[in-house]
Structure 1
Amino acid sequence: MATPPISRRTVLAAGAGAAAAGLTVPGAAHAGHSTGSVGFTLNAQVLDGGEQVTSVTLDTSRLGPVDPASLTTGTFTVHAKATSPLPLAPGDLIFSEYDLDRTVTAARVDRRGDIVLDLSTAEGQVGGGTLGYIVSKGRNVQLKLVYTITQNAPISVRRRPVTISTFRQGRLSNPEVDAFSYHTSRSGMKYRLYSPSARGRRPLVVWLHGGGEGASLPDNYYDNETTLRANRGALGFATREAQRIFDGAYVVAPQSFSAWMQDGPRFAPLIREIILDLVRRKDIDPRRIYVAGCSNGGYMSMEMTVFYPELFAASVPICGVVQALQGGERLITDDELRAITTPTWLVTSLDDTTVPPEPNTVHAHNLIPGSLVTLYEHVVWNGYQFPGHWSWIYVARNDPSIDGQHIWQWMARQRG
């Protein structure tokens, strides 16, 4: 489960690929030349707490050079509405739909001559996110986003005042997410793949998502999106820093049909199928395959090393589940933990109330031979405290270290 108790959940919100939205500006409101329709792009970034729309780019370069001095934060108003892509049952809850004005913090002209409206963005901020969490399903979903742009004053183009008649919403753009290509395995499991620019035999990092990012059944919501947008788990390994440390690595993020914990033994060979197929098709070093995952994915990371002890050079289970929640049965037995031979570094936070450390991470560390463990007191990054379950934030930032060696460097040094 990549989701903490609802009362503590940081608000993520609303989705991609929304329907076009526009608003005609009354000609009488502004003096000067009126031009036709202009498209706009929603620009997003994945923060540590999830993806947010951080700016809007208006496709104004075709109008001619815009005078930056004619732009203020009040020239345009940006309204955002986010709604569920799935019908909700009576009484069901979703965190969080929203319908509000976004605060424009800056208006500028970029290198292409397009107007960019920077929007107020912060961890935990209500409005602006791209995911919603449906309580009854325990799933994050991409919600339908409709942005409406209103022009409040003319802009200056070639010293003429210009008013744009209508605005057309375009795509959601996130370069980090868009760098991962879309795929489906022969068994039907969807996955996203980052391919390094460097040539030659390269390592492979397998990222296994939390429970909130699996498919939602029985409504067949299976988006191949939330695995990258809910947190920086997979994206961290595709950053410039990580690619330098791993000497250029492929990063694959499979998406479960439901949740890894629901049937780990069934999912294990399906994940392995994706890995072996990539090894066949790409120039991947089979001695440098690494697996990491959070919560449900932390469980699955350990499960993969139980089933395939020779496949991985290293494993990083983050707040991984060993014992089913509410005191249930052990999903990984003590004998299985003792038998793990893959070098393992476990990570969690002591204030994790979703997957308590003692019966899970600490217990696994005590039994997995030679394993390393990092126990944080809280999950705090850039001065913002996240729910204790979100310790994957630290791994995505290469923060865990032991005796001066950080976790990415440790992973990259391991060989199968």
Structure 2
Amino acid sequence: MKKKKWMKSVVTMGSAALLTLSIGTGAFAKELPTKPTSYKTVTEIEDWGAAITKVIVDLGRPVPVGSVTKDTFNVHVKRYDNRLANSFLGEGDRVVTNAYVSDKDGNPTKQMGQYAVLELKITPNDSLGSGLNYANGLNAWADNQYTITQQKDIVTSAGKVSGLTVNTFAGGTRVLVDDFNTEKATYGDTTLSYADFTPKVDNHKNPLIIWLHGGGEGGTDPTIPISANKADSFASPETQAYFDGAYVLAPQAPTYWMNGINGRADGTSIYENALISLIKDYVANHKDVDPNRIYVGGDSNGGYMTMVLARDLPGYFAAAFPTCEGLNDSKISDADIQNLIQTPTWFIAAANDTTLPPAINTVPTYDRYLQAGATNVHLSLFDDVHDTTGLYNNADGTPYQYPGHWSWIYVYNNEPTDTINGKTTTLMEWLAAQSK
């Protein structure tokens, strides 16, 4: 008889413990109603281009800090490029690397919040994370459609939130890119789109940095030239600090700057006159641009245009920084060299560039600058283009290797250096010091 009572007590105690455990873990917690849910994306421009680095999920009701972890949701994306006849690009799950409760802007909260930030893994060769798609020679913003599916309960003191499927897109933020204004200007039968950045109001004139995009960034959306590679970095606090605030102007060609009057890369550009007019109008309309500190640079197709402008506007720019430039040395006459050397110039390229080999473009032209007596000309010729952040590696553990043509990555990260007056000087330090 005593044995039966003991067994009954054990069962009763076990049931109580199980009930306590269930309430504590939310297994039997009340299901809480939620308002309609949605998500926003956060895009950042990395060395290789635009990447969606976060989604901010509206959970439909406030939840406590710590109740959302990287295992709470599965994040799936389907990608489309609506320019293509077959618009579907692919789909797959994104890897969530971190998660936390936040406010609507993605800032971590201290107690409760209705939103959750899901940070997503990005790598240079993971197309699922890309904000853009490159097709038919041009970049465009992709249509990235996310479905965020709850995998684990979110437990609150009032009950639990479970079973959420979030697939309503509520907009996106593009870090730095959204700090640029976008406009158009028409000259004759040519319309150029452009993006521009205005520094904070101060009590002095500011320099102007003009950046001319590569071959894949033409068109009529001027956010593409500052997003397909990290040209938005000219507006970053780090770069702006070198100039104590600088305007940034990123014009966009409808097609290619290298489209010449008589053929591709023939030493001319059908957009030159319109581009010169745009630059001069921009300076005239922004009274605090310092006309003695206008800098022009560009990559590849834009490096070509940089050389054309420096040649045809001798002495107009305080400095030029053509990168993997495509104006073949055979297209440059000795008279052209005399014009070109009037602009202090810093060339950047990689020796293994097979798209626009520096052996027939940058290097012989640089040598001719020196032979012509140029005293303020520099060359950064890198062996290759590889990751310098330490974040991305090849399978063998060596730094991730980018195509040799992508030497613009070094420009955006201020990697080029030279010894000037006995001091190691970076490209941005040099550029900021140039004045007519």
- Please classify the TM superposition score into its range, dividing by the shorter chain length: 0.7 to 0.9
**TM superposition score normalised by structure 2:** 0.79
Return the letter of the residue paired with 2:38: G
Match of 2:143 in 1: 144
Deviations 1:227-279 (A, max 9, x none): 111111x2222111211111110001011110000134332222222222222
Confirm or deny that 1:379 pairs with 2:385. yes
Are the counterparts in 2 of residues 36 and 165 from structure 1 also a CA contact under 8 Å? no
**Residues 48-59 of structure 1: pairs in structure 2 closer than 5 A:** 48-59=47-58
Structure 2: distance between partners of 1:57 and 1:295: 36
Match of 2:431 in 1: 411
Structure 2: distance between partners of 1:31 and 1:157: 10
Confirm or deny that 1:170 pairs with 2:170. yes
**Residues 8-19 of structure 1: pairs in structure 2 closer than 5 A:** none
Deviations 1:22-67 (A, max 9, x none): xxxxxxxx9612313122111111110111111100134x622x22
Task: Summarize the Cα distance change of 1:36–1:288 in structure 2 as closer, same or farther, 3 Å threshold.
Answer: same
Task: Summarize the Cα distance change of 1:225–1:331 in structure 2 as closer, same or farther, 3 Å threshold.
Answer: farther
Task: Summarize the Cα distance change of 1:125–1:167 in structure 2 as closer, same or farther, 3 Å threshold.
Answer: closer
Match of 2:317 in 1: 312
Deviation (angstroms), 1:206: 0.1
Return the letter of the residue paired with 2:428: W
Cα RMSD (Å) of the superposition?
2.2
Structure 2: distance between partners of 1:31 and 1:54: 34
Give the match's secondary structure for 2:315: coil
Match of 1:103 in 2: 95
Give the match's secondary structure for 2:367: helix
Select the residue among 394, 400, 403 that pairs with 2:410: 394
Which sits farther off after the overlay, 80-89 or 251-260? Answer: 80-89
Select the residue among 193, 213, 218 that pairs with 1:214: 218
Give the match's secondary structure for 1:272: helix
**Residues 244-263 of structure 1: pairs in structure 2 closer than 5 A:** 244-263=241-260
Return the letter of the residue paired with 1:168: T
Deviation (angstroms), 1:384: 2.2
Deviations 1:341-396 (A, max 9, x none): 11111010001111101110102212234221111001122232211101011111
Give the match's secondary structure for 1:336: helix
Structure 2: distance between partners of 1:174 and 1:275: 26
Deviation (angstroms), 1:335: 3.6
Return the letter of the residue paired with 2:381: L
Task: Return 5+ residue gaps in structure 1 as ranges.
Answer: 1-29, 216-221, 324-328
Match of 1:20 in 2: none
Give the match's secondary structure for 2:226: helix
Deviation (angstroms), 1:413: 1.1
**Residues 272-311 of structure 1: pairs in structure 2 closer than 5 A:** 272-282=276-286, 283-311=288-316
Give the match's secondary structure for 2:38: strand
Aligned length: 367
Give the match's secondary structure for 1:367: helix
Are the counterparts in 2 of residues 34 and 165 from structure 1 also a CA contact under 8 Å? no
Structure 2: distance between partners of 1:262 and 1:150: 48
Give the match's secondary structure for 2:327: coil
**TM superposition score normalised by structure 1:** 0.83
Deviation (angstroms), 1:202: 0.5
Confirm or deny that 1:116 pairs with 2:117. yes
Return the letter of the residue paired with 1:45: E
Are the counterparts in 2 of residues 32 and 162 from structure 1 also a CA contact under 8 Å? yes
Confirm or deny that 1:69 pairs with 2:72. no
Match of 2:264 in 1: none
Are the counterparts in 1 of residues 182 and 223 from structure 2 also a CA contact under 8 Å? no
Return the letter of the residue paired with 1:98: G
Structure 2: distance between partners of 1:31 and 1:330: 77
Deviations 1:143-201 (A, max 9, x none): 11111111223323454212346542122312211111111113321000111114231
Q: Which has the larger radius of gyration?
A: 2
Match of 1:321 in 2: 326
Are the counterparts in 1 of residues 66 and 101 from structure 2 also a CA contact under 8 Å? no
Structure 2: distance between partners of 1:224 and 1:237: 15
Structure 1: distance between partners of 2:167 and 2:357: 49
Match of 1:231 in 2: 229
Structure 2: distance between partners of 1:307 and 1:158: 71
Deviation (angstroms), 1:333: 4.1
Are the counterparts in 2 of residues 303 and 332 from structure 1 also a CA contact under 8 Å? no
Return the letter of the residue paired with 1:337: I
Are the counterparts in 2 of residues 259 and 296 from structure 1 also a CA contact under 8 Å? yes
Deviations 1:82-126 (A, max 9, x none): 11120248xxxx9x9321111111221133532001111122223
Are the counterparts in 1 of residues 77 and 92 from structure 2 also a CA contact under 8 Å? yes
Return the letter of the residue paired with 2:195: R
Give the match's secondary structure for 1:123: coil
Match of 2:198 in 1: 195
